[in-house]
Amino acid sequence: MKVLILIGSASDRSIMAKAEAELAAFGVDYRLQVRSAHRTPTETVAAVQEAEADGCQVFICGAGMAAHLAGAVAAHTSKPVIGVPISSGALGGTDALYSTVMMPPGMPVATVAIDGSRNAALLAIQILALNDPDLTKKLCQMRREAAEKVLAA
């Protein structure tokens, strides 16, 4: 397994479906688990440790509201962590965005847009492509096709 997607609750899965689809399209081995930084902190740490033992290279964390999941994961790994703030609650995801992006010095979390799970997957794929020529080729092809669509319009 190369990527572990963690979500704060089962209701976040619909937002993270784009990340799952992108990883699958690129042939990246991933797993998705529901873990909460607040309600299941011990199980969250165990999931990080188990994923690293299974060869995980990148973590993607999607959570709404207080959205401390990505930070909690970053505190327990030296691997890249990508946070996806999920729109929910009265603030429409801005609370999750601030919670995800405002990490203390020395504890970085790469953060994508609110509900930006597709970009989170693509960023994870770019990270993995640093050591995988096949993924690099697939990324380049995807970008060529995107450019062709723009130019054809």
SS3 sequence of 116-135: CHHHHHHHHHHHHHCCCHHH
Domain coordinates in residue numbering, the chain? 3-152
pTM of the model: 0.96
The ranges of the chain with pLDDT < 50 are none
Q: Which fold has domain 3-152?
A: Rossmann fold (3.40.50)
Residue identified by tokens 């999750």 is: 96
Q: What is the pLDDT of residue 60?
A: 98
| Residue 13 DSSP one-character state | H
Sheet containing 58-64: give its strands across.
30-34, 3-7, 58-64, 81-86, 110-111
Q: What is the pLDDT of residue 32?
A: 98
Q: What is the pLDDT of residue 89?
A: 83
Q: What is the pLDDT of residue 67?
A: 94
Contacts of 93-98 with C-beta under 8 Å, sequence gap 24+, read: 93/64, 95/64, 95/65, 95/66, 95/67, 96/63, 96/64, 96/65, 96/66, 96/67, 97/67
pLDDT digits (tens, 9 = 90+) for 55-75: 999 999 999 999 999 999 999
Q: What is the pLDDT of residue 153?
A: 87
